[in-house]
Structure 1
Amino acid sequence: MGKAQARGSMVVVAAGAVANGYASALVEACADAKALDSVHGDIETITAYMAANPAMSTFLANPTMEPKKKKDVLAKLGKEASFHPFTSNFLNLLVDKSRIGQLDAIAEEFEALYCESTDTQVATVTSAVKLENEQQFMIAKKIQEMTGAKNIKLKPEVDPSLLGGFVVTYGKDGSGYIDMSVAGQVRQLKNEIVVA
């Protein structure tokens, strides 16, 4: 591994540690004040807003933009979305510490810590067509029975190459896997024919 690669790896690890540190502090502060669910909703709101408005991410990450302007924009967004005071204070802290550009990474860490502290199992459900709410509910219920988790958070995705049915990944690093897709059944039949 060259020096440039090693330096790049250290920067990524350092950024991950920074994101984890801020996310952990926020989770601990919220848990002590019983504000975790409110702040979690706020963080989901701001990350969804930034995903839909990439110019906002660029604006916040711009190191030449005055911190006051960033805080003003965040305050306006917070007022419109009725952010919890913890959320607003946290976003202002990120601006003060020049970490607001890392909000996506911090939010990702926060989500993982939130799920861990609320015994929430995250599962990705990939289906050939968009699933109805009732179908998603039944899948979530089955995963809850299988894992014993208190809560289930489904992330639906669509992949027409599955032909029909669905695939579920869950657990730490997606280690749990259920393949109920037509494409998966075809693969299984093919393997049985080759072995026979």
Structure 2
Amino acid sequence: MSVLGVIGFLVVVPAFTPAISACSGRRALTQRQATIIQQAADGSMLEAGGPIIVYSKALMDAARAKKETVQVTQDVMAIKSLMGDDEFLEKWVMITNDWDLDTVSLSKKLVETMGNMKSTVVPKFVTFLAKKKRLISLKKIVNQFVTTLYQQQSIAPVTVKSAQRLTEAQQASIKAKMKAKLGVQDIKLIQEVDASLLAGFFLEWGYVDPERLRSPCNAIDLTLKNHLRKSALQQGVMASA
């Protein structure tokens, strides 16, 4: 079973029933899902418009006002990456726990630790958060910034797992089908190769965190491995994982 042999899953019923999961019975990027993403952004299921949403929007507004949207986005992506680095986090904790530093000195040291920022907005924003005693929320704010960016630009990340690396034609076909299915302008296709799938492919999308590809809300399993597993179970045969 080739990948192209099952690509029609979005327009016709496939030869076998795929395993499908969905969050709250909704498709990705619906209004309901967007609301859930916003509510979860500050970690406490606050209503959209909570502090994390407000600060993220303020950063976006400042970027547009200063005409530094691209630069601010680059800085935010850099900070998001740093927030996953243990060495950086260790430095961050040491600086923020230094009681001898005033607000200005504290924010200055933090910006220096982040490296060269491409915008003038982000360093000032870090200082602003320090004055508001909201530095602890910076990670959540940049995560929300990225999530909102994907929504505004109508980009949906989709992960495809296949036994062999897809050709350009196969990638283009999947992207076209998923663009139509999700109603977005573009698809960010992430490929993963897993030989154990044998043939076909497995799709995931509707991520709560679209940058780090966490918590997918939707999935379709069109792999030969899944088909064989289901066939074995129907015949009462124990299938290996």
On whether the aligned pair clears a TM of 0.5, the verdict is yes
Asked if the contact 2:63–2:69 (Cα under 8 Å) also holds between the matched residues in 1, the reply is yes
Identity of aligned residues (%): 21
Tell me how far 1:21 sits from its aligned partner.
Answer: 1.9
Distance 1:97 1:132, change over 3 A: farther
1:29 aligned onto 2:71: no
Q: What does the per-residue CA deviation read over 1:54-94, in whole Å, with 9 as the maximum and x for residues that have no partner?
A: 13224334542234244224135342xx4211222222222
Amino acid at match of 1:93: F
- Tell which structure's C-alpha radius of gyration is larger: 2
Partner of 2:27: none
1:40 aligned onto 2:73: yes
Q: Give runs of aligned pairs for residues 1-196 of structure 1, distance below 5 A.
A: 12-13=44-45, 17-51=50-84, 53-61=85-93, 63-65=96-98, 66=101, 67=103, 68-75=105-112, 77-79=114-116, 82-123=117-158, 125=159, 127=161, 131=165, 134=168, 137-138=171-172, 139-155=174-190, 162=197, 165-171=200-206, 174-190=216-232, 193=235
User: What is the CA–CA distance in structure 1 between the aligned matches of 2:134 and 2:165, rounded to whole Å?
Assistant: 38
TM-score, scaled to structure 1:
0.68
Tell me how far 1:114 sits from its aligned partner.
Answer: 0.9
Helix, strand or coil for the counterpart of 1:87? helix
Distance 1:176 1:29, change over 3 A: same
Distance 1:47 1:11, change over 3 A: closer
Asked if the contact 2:160–2:203 (Cα under 8 Å) also holds between the matched residues in 1, the reply is yes
Asked if the contact 1:39–1:86 (Cα under 8 Å) also holds between the matched residues in 2, the reply is yes
Give unmatched runs, 5+ long, in structure 1. 1-9
Asked if the contact 2:82–2:114 (Cα under 8 Å) also holds between the matched residues in 1, the reply is no
The alignment yields a C-alpha RMSD, in angstroms, of 3.7
Question: Which gives a bigger RCO, structure 1 or 2 (Cα 8 Å, sep 6+)?
Answer: 2
More helix, by proportion: 1
User: What is the CA–CA distance in structure 1 between the aligned matches of 2:92 and 2:167, rounded to whole Å?
Assistant: 35
Distance 1:32 1:146, change over 3 A: farther
User: What is the CA–CA distance in structure 2 between the aligned matches of 1:181 and 1:76, rounded to whole Å?
Assistant: 46
